[in-house]
Amino acid sequence: MYEAFHLNNHFYTKLEAFTLFEDFTVVRHYKDLPDSWFVVMTDIKGSTKAIQEGRYRDVNLIGAASIIVATKVNGTRDFPFVFGGDGATLLISPDVIDELMNRLAALRDLAKNNFNLDLRVAKVSVKELVKLNKKIEVAKYQLSQGCSMALMRGEGIQAAEYLIKNHPSQYEYETQLKAEADLTGLTCRWKPIPSRKGKIFTLIIQSRKNELRIFEKVIKDLKLIFPDGLDSYNPADYQNGKYKSILENIKSEIRFYKNPFNLSFIKRILEIIPAFLIFNFKLNIAGAQEYVRATKSHSDFIKFDNTLRMVIDCDEMKISQVKSLLSEMYQRREIFFGTHEADESIMTCFVEGLNQGEHIHFIDSGSGGYALAAIQLKDQIKKAISPN
């Protein structure tokens, strides 16, 4: 029994990673998530209003913070998660679920007190989803050596979200024991990155029939529009990036602490000052410039959690072509989709070190692209199920 538990508990670390993103449609890469695991979801309630007030960076920070908290509880970044802009989906093993929910509750308090944001923290057991015949399968995509991210397929993801949103008293986590959210490594020190090619284009796509073949068609058609590959449109452009001032970074990151007068925050300040000098003046100290050049290959600008999500930098002609493609597929009742355009992208970073595989960068558009594109997608879904 112990061996079975151990294997289930570490099934993700045992998954063989693949290196070509378009292979996310290959069924053999996916393995069933063990019944003993949990789907944990976080998101900002009222994120649209906060974004309209210009607080999209705070929304992104708290969304990414839940991944950092889960990493610290797991003791590794090698677990399944997907960043969604205003929150995250985390697949969590049973041995750490209680500790994680408690730490996320602490993050919820921090978000409320220091950011004036209402973070939803909720969980659904995979066992319950299986009883509803809603399964989740997981694959592992290698971004670069030592840096991978999870891909998820199956109706269980949307089913978990439905249960959480429609039965909050049953699935939202309210209890909190005395705890703090460890956000060491979370940074948001780069200024918004202006588009170099025209616009920052966010798109999210769901298959109406939960079929991977639909995404095969999407990828095939996108390759015709972007013949030089989607990687060429990754907005995480180190050449165009600028570091925020020392004071801006201190003001931003002081909010990560209930009480900033502690050793951890002092260490953070002592880190911010040399980082500002190194990155703004492009000093090649301790591999800093190698880290900057590796930003693109360590970013999550494209991902899949039963919904294809991407943030790309492209011209308006290509945006028009993509919109036309998606509209045609929507009219044929193949997909639901949402899009958003902005002038810049933003990066929220998790940096454990400057070496290969020690950092990952969460990408969104500069005005809350994922959250706003989701409004269009959800409106399409409502229209499809409405009797009128």
**pLDDT computed for residue 9 by the predictor:** 61
Which one is predicted more confidently, 188 or 377? 377
In this prediction, residue 2 has a pLDDT band, given cuts at 50, 70 and 90, of very low
Say which range, 117-131, 161-175, 273-287, 360-374, has the weakest mean pLDDT. Answer: 273-287
**Exposure pattern of 133-167 as b/e (b: 16+ CB <10 Å)?**
ebbbbbbbbbbeeebbbbbbbbbbbbbbbebbeee
pLDDT digits (tens, 9 = 90+) for 73-122: 999 899 999 999 999 999 999 999 999 999 999 999 999 999 999 999 99
**For 209-233, what is the mean pLDDT?**
93
pLDDT digits (tens, 9 = 90+) for 36-56: 999 999 999 999 999 989 999
Round the average pLDDT of the chain to a whole number and report it: 91
Which one is predicted more confidently, 386 or 102? 102
The first and second tokens of residue 106, run together, are 């602490």
Name the β-bridge partners of 122: 41, 172
**pLDDT computed for residue 227 by the predictor:** 94
In this prediction, residue 359 has a pLDDT band, given cuts at 50, 70 and 90, of very high
- Res. 288: pLDDT tops 90: no
**For 283-311, what is the mean pLDDT?**
90
**For 357-377, what is the mean pLDDT?**
93
**pLDDT computed for residue 388 by the predictor:** 57
**For 280-300, what is the mean pLDDT?**
85
**For 353-370, what is the mean pLDDT?**
91
d(CA 181, CA 175): 15
Helix, strand or coil, per DSSP, at residue 243: strand
Q: Domain residues of the chain, as ranges?
A: 2-239+291-385
**pLDDT computed for residue 211 by the predictor:** 83
Which one is predicted more confidently, 386 or 149? 149
- Res. 1: pLDDT tops 50: no
d(CA 23, CA 353): 29
**pLDDT computed for residue 4 by the predictor:** 38
**Exposure pattern of 281-301 as b/e (b: 16+ CB <10 Å)?**
eeeeeeebbebbebbbebbbb
**For 349-374, what is the mean pLDDT?**
92
**For 306-334, what is the mean pLDDT?**
97
- Res. 238: pLDDT tops 90: no
Cβ atoms 194, 315 nearer than 8 A = no
Say which range, 72-81, 253-262, 345-354, has the weakest mean pLDDT. Answer: 253-262
Residue type, 350: F
**pLDDT computed for residue 349 by the predictor:** 93
